[in-house]
Amino acid sequence: MSFRNRFSQFAVLAFVGLALAACANQKVPATAAISGIETAINAASAEASKYVPDQLADVQSKFAALKDSLDKQDYKAVLAGAPAVLSSAQGLVAAAAAKKDEVMKAFNGDWTGLAASLPNLVSAVKSRVDILSKSKKLPAGVDLAAAKSGLEEASSLWSKAQGAFSSGNLEEAVNTAKEVKSKAEAAAAALKLDLSQPAAAK
């Protein structure tokens, strides 16, 4: 074998060796990058799935594409795409916190309004139920039994809403209070109790 042929063989082997070494060098950081992104997504997913589900889905989709590249040993693609996906994954926590804050402020406003108006509404319905229960002949169209049942449900739900508020579950408190409003209004309608009229001049 000539010197020239030996040199060619050596060059090919050296190239393959360098390529394998380069490949091995990229595998470790690529795997670490995937792991880092996965950790960031897992840390944010509970709140993100509730408050910024679209943003979470977008990050998960990009992460899946990176994992696919890793499985195909395309480490270069993984390392090229990982920083942006990691940044998006890390941003999920702040985005979810901001959205949660916005939602909680809205619930707080709703609760303040409902807590101020519902006791009066339930009290007005109860007062009419008490009086009609003494009546010898109910006015036409009044369904006292339905109103009593609705009032009972509204009262029970109102206790539940207050309990949820006391234990810090604002979302449940507001949603339950909205049910109270609906039940009490239905009971008022069953009594033909029109509460939309203006109050008497003082």
Partner 1 sequence: MAEKDNSSNPPAAGAALGQYHVVVKGDTLGKIAEKYYGDPSLYKDIFEANKNVLKDPNKIFPGQKLRIP
Summarize as ranges the residues that interact with partner 1 (CB under 8 A): 117, 120-121, 123-124, 127-128, 131-132, 134-139, 142, 193-201
Q: How far is the CB of 194 from partner 1 (least distance, A)?
A: 5
Q: How far is the CB of 196 from partner 1 (least distance, A)?
A: 5
Separation CA 114–CA 107 (nearest Å): 10
Nearer to partner 1, 44 or 188 (CB): 188
Nearer to partner 1, 1 or 199 (CB): 199
**AA identity, residue 109:** G
Contact 124, 147 (CB under 8 A): no
Q: How far is the CB of 192 from partner 1 (least distance, A)?
A: 8
* Residue 3: how many other CB atoms lie within 10 Å: 7
Calculate the alpha carbon distances from 143 to 50, 75, 127 in Å. 42, 73, 15
Nearer to partner 1, 61 or 123 (CB): 123
Nearer to partner 1, 47 or 143 (CB): 143
Q: How far is the CB of 122 from partner 1 (least distance, A)?
A: 10
Q: How far is the CB of 145 from partner 1 (least distance, A)?
A: 15
Separation CA 85–CA 15 (nearest Å): 33
Nearer to partner 1, 74 or 185 (CB): 185
